[in-house]
C-alpha cells in the first residue's frame, strides 16, 4: 500500500481517534495499543526447564530480547535462565520463559523488517544501500517472513515469505531515489503492523537519517519505539551530509537503536557495510528471549524500568543489550 505523509496522518487520526498535536497523538496511539493487546507482551508462557514452548492465550508475559557481550565485544551464547536476574521498578521478577536463538526447538519465530530509504537525499548512496540490503536479507533463511517498508514522500509496505525473496529483491532494486523523507512515519507504520507478530521481531533501517516530511515528531516516534518489543538496527549513510546535519542524524539513529537493545552503524564503503551486517547477524543469532509475569498488576499505562543483570561473578564485566523497560497496560478506571 502507499500512503503520503498527509494521508498517513489523516488515516491515523480517523482510525485511532488521535489528536492533531504530536505528543497527544503518540500518547493516544500508545494507549490504544496497550488496551488492544499489549504489544510489548507475549501471549503465552513456557516452562524454563528446557521444555518446548507452549503458548496459551490469556497469559501476559513481559518479554525482552537480550544479548550479552564480553569485554572484547564477543557475543556470549551459552547462558541459561539461571544466569539472568530481572528487576522491575526495584522488585525482583521470576523468569517464566527463556529461549536461546540457536535452539531450534524453543526459539520463538523470527520476523524481520527492512526500512529502506528511497528519498532524493539518498541519491549518492542508493546503490550501496541496495546492495547492502539484498546481501543482508539473503542470509536470513530462518526468518518466517520479511516486511519491506520503502519510503520517500510516501510510505509503502509489503510482506514477503521466503519463497517470495526474488520479488522482494526486484522491488528493492527497482526503486529510484526521489521525493522527500518520511522516515518517522515509516517507523510508525512498521511498528503498528509489528505488534500483531508473535515471536522475535528485528528491524533494520537503511537511511541517511534525515526526515523532511513526516507528520509525527521524533520525540513521538521514540515513545512508540519504547512501547514496542522490536529490536532495531540502524545503518546510516551519512558521508554526503554536511557536518552539522551528520552529527544530528548520527545521534538520532543511535538513539533509536540503543533504546531497543540494537546498534547503529555508519558505513562509508562496502567493506564497512559487510562488517555491519555481519555484526547484526551475530547479534540476532546470539539473542536470548526472556519473559516474566510482572508482580505489578496495576493497569495504569505508566513506564516501568526494567534492569536485567547476570548472576555469575565471572561475567561481572559483561555488557547487556536490551530494552530498558516497557509501558504497563492501560485500563480506564471509569
Decide if 334 is inside a domain. Answer: no
Mean pLDDT over 256-264 rounds to 97
Burial class (CB in 10 A: 0-12, 13-18, 19+), 28: middle
- Band (334; pLDDT cuts 50, 70, 90): low
| Residue 198 and residue 145 in one domain | yes
Locate the DSSP E strands across the chain.
2-4, 41-42, 61-69, 84-88, 91-93, 95-100, 110-117, 145-151, 154-161, 200-207, 231-236, 264-265, 288-292, 303-310, 319-321, 325-327
CATH, residue 187: 3.40.50.410
β-pair partners for 206: 116, 235
pLDDT at 40 over 80: no
Give the separation between CA 288 and CA 304, rounded to whole angstroms: 21
Closest CA to 287 of 201, 161, 194, 205: 201
Give the separation between CA 326 and CA 304, rounded to whole angstroms: 5
- Which cell numbers hold the place of 189? 507504520
Mean pLDDT over 99-103 rounds to 88
Burial class (CB in 10 A: 0-12, 13-18, 19+), 264: buried
Q: Structural domain tally of the chain?
A: 2
pLDDT in tens, 160-190: 998 898 899 999 999 899 999 999 999 999 9
CATH, residue 96: 2.60.40
| Residue 217 and residue 316 in one domain | no
State the average pLDDT for the chain: 84
| Residue 79 and residue 198 in one domain | no
Give the separation between CA 294 and CA 92, rounded to whole angstroms: 9
Q: Which domain holds residue 204?
A: 2-37+107-285
pTM for the structure as a whole? 0.83
- What is the distance, to the nearest Å, from the Cα of residue 148 to the centroid of all Cα atoms in its chain? 14
pLDDT in tens, 129-161: 898 888 888 888 889 999 999 999 999 999 999
Mean pLDDT over 217-239 rounds to 95
| Residue 76 and residue 167 in one domain | no
| Residue 96 and residue 122 in one domain | no
Amino acid at each position: 500500500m502507499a500512503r503520503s505523509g498527509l494521508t498517513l496522518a489523516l488515516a491515523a487520526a480517523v482510525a485511532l481517534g488521535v489528536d492533531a498535536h504530536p505528543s497527544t497523538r503518540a500518547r493516544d496511539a500508545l494507549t490504544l495499543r496497550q488496551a488492544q493487546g499489549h504489544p510489548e507482551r507475549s501471549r503465552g508462557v513456557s516452562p524454563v526447564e528446557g521444555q518446548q514452548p507452549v503458548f496459551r492465550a490469556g497469559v501476559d508475559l513481559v518479554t525482552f530480547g537480550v544479548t550479552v557481550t564480553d569485554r572484547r565485544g564477543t557475543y556470549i551464547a551459552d547462558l541459561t535462565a539461571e544466569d539472568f536476574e530481572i528487576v522491575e521498578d526495584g522488585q525482583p521478577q521470576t523468569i517464566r520463559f527463556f529461549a536461546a536463538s540457536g535452539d531450534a526447538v524453543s526459539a520463538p519465530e523470527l520476523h524481520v523488517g527492512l526500512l529502506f530509504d528511497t528519498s532524493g537525499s539518498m541519491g549518492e548512496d542508493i546503490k550501496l544501500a541496495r546492495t547492502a540490503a539484498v546481501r543482508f536479507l539473503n542470509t536470513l533463511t530462518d526468518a518466517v517472513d520479511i516486511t519491506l517498508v520503502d519510503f520517500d514522500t510516501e510510505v509503502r509496505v509489503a510482506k514477503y515469505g521466503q519463497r517470495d525473496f526474488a520479488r522482494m529483491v526486484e522491488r528493492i532494486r527497482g526503486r529510484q531515489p526521489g521525493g522527500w523523507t518520511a522516515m518517522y512515519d515509516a517507523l510508525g507504520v512498521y511498528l503498528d503492523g509489528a505488534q500483531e507478530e508473535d515471536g522475535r521481531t528485528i528491524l533494520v533501517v537503511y537511511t541517511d537519517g534525515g526526515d523532511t516530511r513526516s507528520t509525527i515528531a521524533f520525540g513521538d516516534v521514540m515513545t512508540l519505539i519504547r512501547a514496542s518489543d522490536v529490536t532495531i538496527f540502524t545503518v546510516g549513510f551519512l558521508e554526503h551530509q554536511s557536518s552539522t546535519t551528520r552529527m544530528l542524524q548520527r545521534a538520532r539513529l543511535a538513539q533509536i537503536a540503543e533504546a531497543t537493545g540494537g546498534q547503529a552503524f555508519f558505513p562509508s564503503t562496502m567493506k564497512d557495510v559487510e562488517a555491519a551486517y555481519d555484526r547484526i547477524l551475530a547479534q540476532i543469532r546470539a539473542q536470548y528471549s526472556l519473559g516474566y509475569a510482572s508482580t505489578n498488576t496495576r493497569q495504569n499505562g505508566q513506564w516501568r524500568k526494567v534492569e536485567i543483570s547476570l548472576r555469575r561473578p565471572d561475567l561481572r564485566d559483561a555488557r547487556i543489550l536490551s530494552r530498558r523497560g516497557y509501558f504497563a497496560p492501560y485500563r480506564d478506571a471509569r
